[in-house]
Chain A
Amino acid sequence: MILFENVTKKFGEVVALSEVSFEVDKGEFVFLTGPSGAGKTTIIKLILREFFPTEGKIEIMGENISLIRSKKIPQFRRKIGVVFQDFKLLIDRTVLENVILPLQIRKVQSSQIAKQAQEVLKLVGLWERKDLFPAQLAVGEIQRASLARAIIGKPEILLADEPTGNLDPNNSQQIIELLKKINDNETTVLMATHNASLVNLLKERVICLAEGKLISDEKKGKYKLPKFKFEKDV
Chain B
Amino acid sequence: MNSLVEKLISAIITAILIIFFGFPVGFVIWTSFRDYGAILAGQFFGFHYSLTNYFNVLFNPGYAFTKGLINSIIVTIATTGLVLLVSFPAAYALARFRIGGGSLSSYIFSIRLLPPIIFAVPLLVLLYMLQLHDTLLGLTIVYLAFNIPLAVFLLRSFIMEIPIEIEEAAIVDGCSKFRVMLYVTLPLSKPGLIATSILTFIMVWAEYLFALLFTLKNAVTINVVASQFVTQHTIRYGEIAAAVTIGMLPTVVFLTLIQKYLVKGLTLGAVRGA
Q: Do A and B come from one complex?
A: no
Contact residues of A with B, CB < 8 Å?
A: none
